[in-house]
Amino acid sequence: MKGLKLSLLALVLTCVAFTGLHKYYVSVTQIEYVEEKESVQIISRIFIDDFEKLLRERYDKNITLAGEDEPNSVDAYVEKYLKEKLVIKINDEPATLNFIGKSYDVDLVKCYLEIEHVKSIQNIDIKNELLFDVFNDQQNIVKTKINSKQKSVILFPQKSSVLLKFN
């Protein structure tokens, strides 16, 4: 009986220990076409600690996101990185992403981007490699709302892009 209790205790401790060690790496990017404004509006939500790790490794080891005295250079680094790792084609034509800014929400950084002068969307090709260069098990969820149709996909390092059709 004592051996059974010890075995059960060991099993429970093992399960608790290993489930607590694994961290999930995920971002969520929402892409919405606002026809009356001829604008594609994009919001990427990324965990602050993950994004901070990336920015420190890539640009400046002293960066602290959401700090009181955050230097202006942080926005420039965020914009540069987003434009490298988030690539969009609309109707088979490369789109220019305009970085609007960022905000913090508890443990997330929200990055705001926009593509202007979009008359219509038949298809959109989305390449989202955010944080793939830091976390091998990173997953990027992309949610779209285009022409009153909603579609969602999960992108990961082995499949970092998707072509969605809306005609």
Rg of the chain in Å (alpha carbons):
20
Which residues of the chain carry a pLDDT beneath 70? 1-22
- Using alpha carbons, select from 21, 18, 31, 61 the residue that is nearest to residue 140: 31
pLDDT given at position 21: 45
Range of the domain at 40: 23-165
Within a domain: 125: yes
> Can you give the pLDDT at residue 7?
42
CA angle, residues 84, 118, 94, in degrees to nearest 5: 35
Q: What are the tens digits of pLDDT across the range 93-137?
A: 999 999 999 999 989 999 999 999 999 999 999 999 999 999 999
Residue 1 pLDDT: 52
pTM above 0.75, yes or no: yes
Q: Tell me, what's the pLDDT at 55?
A: 95
**Rounded Cα gap, residues 121 and 136, in angstroms:** 32
Burial (Cβ within 10 Å: 0-12, 13-18, ≥19) of residue 78: buried
CA 90, chain centre distance (Å):
19
Q: Give the integer Cα–Cα distance in Å for 45 and 27.
A: 6
Token reading at 82: 């987003």
CA distance 166 to 117: 18
Residue 6 lies in a domain: no
pLDDT of residue 71: 84
Does residue 144 lie within any of the structural domains? yes
Please report whether residue 27 resides in a domain: yes
Q: What is the pLDDT of residue 93?
A: 97
* Number of domains making up the chain: 1
Q: What pLDDT, on a 0 to 100 scale, did the predictor assign at position 20?
A: 46
Q: What pLDDT is attached to residue 13?
A: 37
Cα 21-27-28 angle, rounded to 5 deg: 140
- What is the model's pLDDT at position 70? 86
Sign of CA dihedral 55, 61, 66, 70: negative
Identify whether 18 is part of a domain.
no
